[in-house]
Every structure is written in C-alpha cells, then in structure tokens.
Amino acid sequence: MKIITINKANFSEVQSIYHDGIATGVATFETVVPDWEYWNNNHLPIGRILAIKDDQFLGWAALSAVSKRKVYSGVAEVSIYVSKHFRGQKIGDFLLKKIIKISEQHNIWTLQAGIMRANKASLRLHTNNGFRIVGYKEKIGQLNGIWLDNVILERRSKTVGC
C-alpha cells in the first residue's frame, strides 16, 4: 500500500469513495458529493492523502482547519473514508496513522473528529489510535429528517506543542 497526494487529477476517485461513505448513512451529514472546488477550499493544503495498491484506490484522509483564528492554527479536523470494497482490511488504520504523522510534521498539536454515534467502526478506529471522547453534540444535524448526535473526539500530540 502506498500514499499519493489528493489533487484535481485524481479527485474523481476521492469522490467515488466519498459517495460510498455517504451511502452508509453513518459517515457524514452530507448527502451530495462535493466538487473539487468546494472540497479543495475546505481542506488544508497538507495531509490530503489517498491510499492505493495495485492501481486500486482504497481510501482517503484529509485535514480541515477548525478555526481561522491564529491561536487554533495547530488544531485540525480529520476525515477518513474507505472504499466499500476494502472495508475491514485496516485501510482506515493505515490512513489514520499516516495522517497523524503528517499532522505532527506540520506542527499540528491536536486532531479532532466528529463521528456519528452509530458509526461504531470509526469510533473504535479513532480510540484505538489515541483519540479520546470529550463529549458529544446533541442533535447537531439532520440526516434524512432525523436529528443525530455527533461524538467529539480529540488526540493531543505527545511530540508537538508539549
């Protein structure tokens, strides 16, 4: 397995995997896959990774700013999506470990994640990689007319911002 950078040329693969996530009903409140322009403008220029093996696109991860305020410049939100064809094969674990390493190389001291309560696999993935549950946002958004909670997790670096 190797990592390549997400860019406009391979974004259709990211969109396909994102669509797989939307279809689960537990990965995101989004119901439509964004276009390149929107996605590009809403993710940091670092930490845009796409996992591939044998010319197959397995999953992706990316970082988003949590705030424009300088004081939070070392805090980012992590997103991870795995193709429906490769779930249960440790792709998410591979991507999360890589994004943690990349984030620390770029002076990010805290990673955050907001995960739907029903997404047990993602909650387990994050807690197994040093994230802790700090609370939840009750009925933070609707999906298909149903109000849902988001569990909030964070991972504080042991090497950056100590």
CA atoms within 13 A on the CB side of 115: 23
92-128 confidence digits (pLDDT tens): 999 999 999 999 999 999 999 999 999 999 999 999 9
Which of 94, 85, 32, 34 has its CA nearest to residue 64?
A: 34
- Cβ-contact 77, 112 below 8 angstroms: yes
14-31 confidence digits (pLDDT tens): 999 999 999 999 999 999
How far is the C-alpha of 100 from the C-alpha of 76, rounded, in Å?
A: 11
Which of 122, 61, 55 has its CA nearest to residue 88?
A: 122
Q: Which residues pair with 153 in a beta bridge?
A: 113, 133
**Residue given tokens 């939100």 in the structure block:** 77
